[in-house]
Amino acid sequence: MGKKRIYELAKELNVSSKAILDKAQEKGFDVKNHMSSLGSNEERQLRETFSNKGSKTTTGNKNQSSQAKPAHSTQSAKPAQNHDHRQNTGSSQTAHNRSQSDSSNHSNGQNHANVSHSQSSNRNQSANHSQSTNRGQSNNRSQSSNNNRSQSNNNNRSQNSNHSQNNGNSNNANRGGSGRFGGSLNSGNGHNSRNNRNNRNNNRRRNNFAKKYSKKNQRIKETNHQKGAPERKNKALPDTLVYQVGMNAQDLGKILHREPAEIVKKLFMLGVMANQNQSLDKDTIEILAADYGIDAKEKVEVDVADIDKTFEEESKNTDHLESRPPVVTIMGHVDHGKTTLLDHLRHSHITAGEAGGITQAIGAYQVKHKSKTITFLDTPGHAAFTEMRARGADITDITILVVAADDGVMPQTIEAIHHAQAAKTPIIVAVNKIDKPGANPNHVMEQLTEYGLIPEDWGGDTIFVQISAKFGKNIDELLDMILLQSEVMELKANPQQHAAGSVIEAKLDQGKGSVATLLIQQGTMHTGDPIVVGNTFGKVRTMENENGKEIKKALPSTPVEITGLSDVPEAGDRFVVFDDEKTARAAGEERAKNALMEERRSKNTVTLDNLFDTMKEGEMKEVDVIIKADVQGSVEALANSLKKIEVEGVRVNIIHTAVGAINESDVTLAEASNAIIIGFNVRPTPQAKSQADQDNVDIRLHRVIYNAIDEIEHAMKGKLEPTYKEEVIGEVEVRDIFKASKVGTIAGGMVTDGHISRDSKVRLIRDSVVVYEGELGSLKRFKDDVNDVKQGHELGLTIENYNDIKVGDVIEAYVMKEIPIE
Ligand SMILES: Nc1nc2c(ncn2[C@@H]2O[C@H](COP(=O)(O)OP(=O)(O)OP(=O)(O)O)[C@@H](O)[C@H]2O)c(=O)[nH]1
């Protein structure tokens, strides 16, 4: 049987999920929302709690009142968790009652020493009090400590149905006797004899459990009594202290619903000197929990900063899946009509009732068609699409490829196809401008077959729709096809969980601060949600839909514009809603710090230099390659040869080929797909070059096809030799010679140009002729070894394995530098 979720239990017990959730959190269970699952023990505890609640009216158990509202004293009661606790509780109650009924009972003395609990008895037994206190505590030290112990249990986790009557009575007595709320002390007396019997049995068990802490407890309680500690309105303790190592008294106080000072005091009594802010170790926390009479459980630390993981987990959640609208991106060649199509859709199919209400464009919008919703990303072009992918956000479900019927397949059409195919999104072809005189839709269809886009009529599986974006022809048919495709894809999300998704765009607004357009991919987002977005964090202060209308919640596939973030995130960043603001802040700050320390992109870019290692790590089965060349013939020749290379089951996968210079789009695609770009007789544009440098994209330029193939093959076999270039860094003029028997010839001189470093290579030049090349043996300033000597400074040096240095020689220092991409 699977674990029960909160909402399921709620349904079963016929109470609200929130009530269960609150109770579970109060008990310290690790649950986040109604979807959280419960362990069997946790489930049982909750069942007991709620079935007790349910029986309130019939049993008349007075426990319930302590359950229903916060306890008024340290005796605050909470339903017991297990058998042992019940026993403890029962006994403690009985011990208590006994003190009321039996004036000669030594426990009176102990009651006297006890905290407010004992006041209930004391009032009733004022006559007994002095007698009983005289009955030496020393005789009954262990007895009294047991009772103390049990009282602490009693205080914290008392009644259950088994002894509910007793408890009800004794509690009543406790409360009544406290003097704060009045009430009769006698109300419980009728059950005392039964309590006494229980008590005797249970005392024995208690003995063992409590022995360890008894003396300390006794001391604490005595101290409290002496001071006449006022009763505090403490909330009930949780049944389990769920802690993390390193928590301090303040943290624990929050979980235990106790003042930090009380925790510090307790620790002190347990022999641990710590202030409220000092971190505590595992043992101390566990002892503390035991002293409170509750279990302790270490919380497994989750890396809150790893929002990608959280995002993945949220995405994988298969509960409560409901259909969600498809997210569509429009791509195509320049001027083929992408913007016209987007505009047409935006104006003709916006949500009913909101017509004319468009106040702003937020990078995405939704259209209604046949009472279904479709989300369009309002950023036409594959560059934006691939940039998002490069940042890890695969948010597009369907790509609309717009091809003008009068122009046919053009370079950016092909790029768009490759970008969409690399992202593995299905393509619907919109053959546009069919109204134009020169339109030839069939020709477009024919051309596209070359790229694997074959119409259904011709035996393929690509949907083609012939449209006129300008005149709105067949737009409804296109929307039909989008809905059909999305139905096939069974796009689903769980609206019942925390929201998670991606940033579409973000900016800094002078008035509003950071403004981000987010696409919700999972869950439902609410205003006020604590959120981490990329490396920023905050709380969703305001949320608007694409028409600038304030909304309070947003479902999956909805684009929203939010404010309230600490900084401006980047397009493609992921966001995740957290349980609480503190964790969101911690995660956001951690992420910002990590981002500073580590350049995200340099981590996993594949270059020919690291190709072999990456392959060895088993991360790759295919080496993605983009080929750009001067003529189509070279593109094909190179592509065919590369495809034939096969090394250890890894093969070359050509994701894009084209004629022309290597452009920014190529680099973006390479980065998003972890591909290597090969340029044959072409060069990168300056922008592409700087983007490639920035993104660590490997561009290899060749003039001979054989070299290109050779290089890739060598890289795949791990035999690629890096190429180095010599760089002269400085010159030294030799002005003196010293001979030392142990070290050989020492040259004294001056750096006349640049500098010389300890690890530089040297070349000895005499009368413009190189007489020796080698390594430095030592480099000194006066008597000290140094790493570097700059121009204008004197030095002493030796050359490794070479002594024939003469005054007037010039020593050239140089280093070998790896050649960067041209
Ligand atoms: N006749 C006709 N013209 C169209 C149609 N669709 C677009 N156009 C025209 O084609 C031109 C280019 O359209 P855009 O929508 O700007 O094309 P685009 O693909 O967004 O272009 P870029 O944003 O530059 O990439 C405009 O003058 C449009 O009016 C159509 O269906 N029929």
The half-sphere exposure of 6 on its side-chain side, counting CA atoms within 13 A, is 20
665 CA distance to ligand 1 centroid (A)? 21
Cα–Cα dist 242/199, whole Å: 30
Ligand 1: does its nearest atom lie under 6 Å from the Cβ of 441? no
Residue 240 marked as a ligand binder: no
Ligand 1: does its nearest atom lie under 6 Å from the Cβ of 157? no
The half-sphere exposure of 541 on its side-chain side, counting CA atoms within 13 A, is 11
Cα–Cα dist 13/50, whole Å: 7
- The answer as to whether 334 is a domain residue is yes
Same domain, 484 and 446: yes
Instruction: Give the chain's domain count.
Output: 6
- The answer as to whether 164 is a domain residue is no
Q: Which of 333, 340, 403, 665 to mutate to test the pocket of ligand 1 (most atoms within 8 A of CB)?
A: 340
Question: What's 163's DSSP letter?
Answer: G
Q: What is the pLDDT of residues 376-415, one digit of tens each?
A: 987 666 666 777 776 666 788 999 999 999 999 998 889 8
Residue 461 marked as a ligand binder: no
Same domain, 420 and 463: yes
CA distances from 718 to 50, 563, 721 (A): 65, 50, 9
Last residue of one domain, picked from the residues 601, 626, 657: 601
The overall pTM is greater than 0.80: no
**End-to-end Cα, the chain, rounded Å:** 63
Same domain, 578 and 618: no
Same domain, 329 and 455: yes
Same domain, 696 and 727: no
Residue nearest to atom 12 of ligand 1 (CA): 335
Ligand 1: does its nearest atom lie under 6 Å from the Cβ of 338? yes
Q: Is 582 helix (H, G, I), strand (E, B) or coil?
A: helix
- The answer as to whether 143 is a domain residue is no
CA of 343, closest atom in ligand 1? 15
Cα–Cα dist 689/691, whole Å: 5
341 CA distance to ligand 1 centroid (A)? 8
Nearest to 270, CA basis, from 234, 227, 218, 205? 218
Residue nearest to atom 9 of ligand 1 (CA): 337
338 CA distance to ligand 1 centroid (A)? 7
Ligand 1: does its nearest atom lie under 6 Å from the Cβ of 435? yes
Same domain, 374 and 480: yes
- The answer as to whether 101 is a domain residue is no
Same domain, 582 and 653: no
Residue nearest to atom 6 of ligand 1 (CA): 337
Nearest to 52, CA basis, from 158, 154, 195? 158
Backbone phi, psi, residue 80, to 5°: -75, 160
Last residue of one domain, picked from the residues 601, 623, 646: 601
Q: Which of 329, 331, 333, 335 to mutate to test the pocket of ligand 1 (most atoms within 8 A of CB)?
A: 335
CA of 468, closest atom in ligand 1? 31
CA of 342, closest atom in ligand 1? 15
For the chain (822 residues), the mean pLDDT of every run of 10, in chain order, is 72 80 84 74 85 47 36 35 37 37 37 36 37 36 38 38 37 34 34 42 43 44 45 74 86 89 88 84 88 83 63 69 90 87 76 40 79 83 68 81 93 88 90 92 93 88 92 92 90 88 85 89 91 87 87 92 88 85 81 64 58 63 84 85 78 87 89 86 85 86 84 73 74 92 89 93 85 90 91 93 92 80 36
Same domain, 524 and 477: no
Identify whether the C-beta of residue 52 lies closer than 8 Å to the C-beta of residue 161.
yes
Angle between helices 126-134 and 117-124 (to 10 degrees): 110
Same domain, 546 and 428: no
Q: Which domain holds residue 790?
A: 723-819
pLDDT recorded at residue 464: 93
Residue 336 marked as a ligand binder: yes
- The answer as to whether 595 is a domain residue is yes
